[in-house]
Amino acid sequence: MSKFLLCLLLLATLMNLSSCRKPEPEPTPQTDAGPVFRHDADLTITAPDGILRASFAVEIAATEQATRQGLMFRETMPADHAMLFDPQGLSRNPFWMKNTYLPLDIIFIDADRKILHIAENTHPFSEDAIEPGGLYRYVLEINAGLAQKQNLTIGDKVTWTLLNSAGS
C-alpha cells in the first residue's frame, strides 16, 4: 500500500509542476505595412511616338523567391512606385493576387520591352489566374487605375535605368 501512496504522491507532484509551466506567448500580428520598398531602378513608359506616359521608381524581383513574394503582404505603395518582375527568360506563366492587399494593374512586357497585355484593376487576395495574353519577358505591377489614368496602351515602350547593383 505504501508503494501505491508513493506513486500517487509522485503523480500528483508531477501534475502540479506541469501546470506551473509558463504559458506560450501568443503570436503577435504583423502591424507594419510589409517589407520596405527597395529602389532598384527608374522606369519610364513612352508612347510609340516618344511621348512620356509615366515614370516609376521600381523594385526589381529578379530571384525566384522575390518573384514568388512580389507585393504580397504590402498594404501600401506610393503612386510613383512599382515592382518589376524579371523571370530570367520568356514565360507564359500567369500571375495571381494571393496575399496581396493592393489592387493592381499588371502589365506584361514582351522581349522588345513593349507592353503586350494589361490586366487592369486586379482583385486583392484572389487566387484566380491572371493570364499574360502571350509570351512575356517582364511584368510590371502598378497601383490599380494608373494604367488607365496614364493612358498606357499595348505597344508602349518600357525602359529602365538600374541604380547601384540592382538585377536585370
Residue 9 lies in a domain: no
Pair 81, 118: CB distance under 8 Å: no
Gap between the Cα atoms of 35 and 114, Å rounded: 29
Structural domain of 115:
41-162
The answer to whether 125 and 97 are in contact (CB under 8 A) is: yes
CATH number of residue 132's parent domain: 2.60.120.1140
Residue 87 resides in a domain: yes
| Poorest-pLDDT segment among 3-7, 55-59, 129-133, 164-168 | 3-7
Q: Select from 122, 144, 7 the least CA-distant residue to 76.
A: 144
Domain count, the chain: 1
- Per-residue pLDDT reduced to its tens digit, 38-81: 899 999 999 999 999 999 999 998 767 666 666 666 777 889 99
CA angle 41, 45, 49 (to 5 degrees): 145
